[in-house]
Amino acid sequence: MNNDRLRSLLEQYFNDAISDADRDELFSYLNNNPDDVSGAVDEEMLNLEGAPGFDNTRAQKVLADIKADPRFKDDAIIPVPVIGKSNIVKLYAGWVKIAAAVLIFASVGFYFVRRQKMGAVKNEVAANNMAKIVPGSNKAILTLAGGKSIVLDSAANGALASNGKCKVNKVGDGKLVYDVLPNATHAGVNAVLYNTLTIPPGGQYQVVLPDGTQVWLNSSSSLSYPTEFTGNSRTVKLTGEAYFEVAKNKDKPFYVEMNNVQVKVLGTHFNISAYADDKDLTTTLLEGSVQISKSGSLALLRPGQQAVIGSDGNAIDVSKANISQAMAWKNGYFMFNDDNIVDIMKKVSRWYDADIEYQGNFANQRFGGTFTRSKSITDLLKNLEQISNVHFKITGRRITVMQ
């Protein structure tokens, strides 16, 4: 397991934003590789004395929670000093270093610690409106080549349509699969039939394309694609955000087109965020290689890198990516890293299907932290209020951000 993956799992565990599968992965790895945890912790993070958010009572509770977990190994007990403190805490041998890592995460603020001075707690969320804004879920609209629309969240599992040489199947909650029918024929010579999968605000969905490529679509996104990839290439069109696991085919490159930008791949895993109301288009590469192009500018990404293109220019800025942050939405949580409140509330608006308005100037308000996307909007807003001078009011489906 690489350090980025281990860091991500530790962050999710501490913030109660981890899935059962990811928790099993984390516990299994650490029980078998306890010495490897140190690789996920930077040297400079070990100085906890005086760090904001750290106190011994909280540390003891975190350690107790870890020890109480049924996946925790209990084959040995040894005394281990709590980092930055003089007292001794007994921990199971296989979990010494994860405990230290959890304490470190507590100290540096993975639970919405603001970089500026902590503001007074202001909680003005209207309790009588709590039920009107709920977290997103698996919903989408499939538009077939002939113009027929199918609301997928209300459609039954099974075959939905035959489209060109494909049968379109809903195989479960939140997943659409195209099965190629080798003996089917087109209605028309050289006809290319396109389908569009549209994800509304408050939705997400997965689709398996005719070539086996898997695509996960975030809220307020859409993907247009042919029901059969003919010729020497495979091309789809994206708006919004999607994570791709492209089926390998060296003879037929895969292209993603959006906002005058083209991403070319052969077989790889990557995330693209291309919302029209964001100032940047960002492509993040997890494995393989991709080529980014816009108006003559070209860039080649390596795993762990991201390419950022401003909406008002053609320059492609390549830098090291924060993989955990780029993949947070797909893994079921928000991750903010010194983000301003406007960018945060864009993500909130898309996932909770809420309108946002502002009263005041929030240019200097920045936040960092992790929050699971399955929890209520009021829980999220309360956390933001507790560590800032910002507070919120909910009226119907509108959230007002105030100073």
The tens digit of pLDDT for each residue in 299-310 reads 999 999 999 998
**Contact between 145 and 227 (Cβ < 8 Å):** yes
Contacts of 68 by beta carbon, 8 Å cutoff, 6+ apart: none
At the topology level of CATH, where does 137-326 sit?
A: Jelly Rolls (2.60.120)
The stretch 97-103 carries a mean pLDDT of 52
Q: At what angle do helices 341-352 and 377-386 cross, to 10 degrees?
A: 170
| Comma-separated ranges of CATH 3.55.50.30 domains in the chain | 127-132+332-402
For the four alpha carbons of 8, 13, 17 and 20, in that order, the dihedral sign comes to positive
Phi, psi of 341 (to 5 degrees): -65, -30
The SS3 of residue 59 is: helix
| Comma-separated ranges of CATH 2.60.120.1440 domains in the chain | 137-326
For 221-275, what is each residue's pLDDT tens digit?
999 999 999 899 999 999 999 999 999 998 999 999 998 899 999 889 999 999 9
Using only C-alpha atoms, what is the Rg of the chain? Answer: 23
In 3D space, the residue among 372, 365, 378 whose CA is nearest the CA of residue 338 turns out to be 365
DSSP secondary structure letter of residue 249: -
Tokens of 255: 């292209």
The SS3 of residue 158 is: strand
Tokens of 229: 């990839």
145-172 burial, b for 16+ CB within 10 Å, e for fewer?
Answer: beeeebebeeeeeeebbebbbbbbbbee
* pLDDT band for position 185 (cuts 50, 70, 90): low
DSSP secondary structure letter of residue 190: T
At the topology level of CATH, where does 127-132+332-402 sit?
A: Phage tail protein beta-alpha-beta fold (3.55.50)
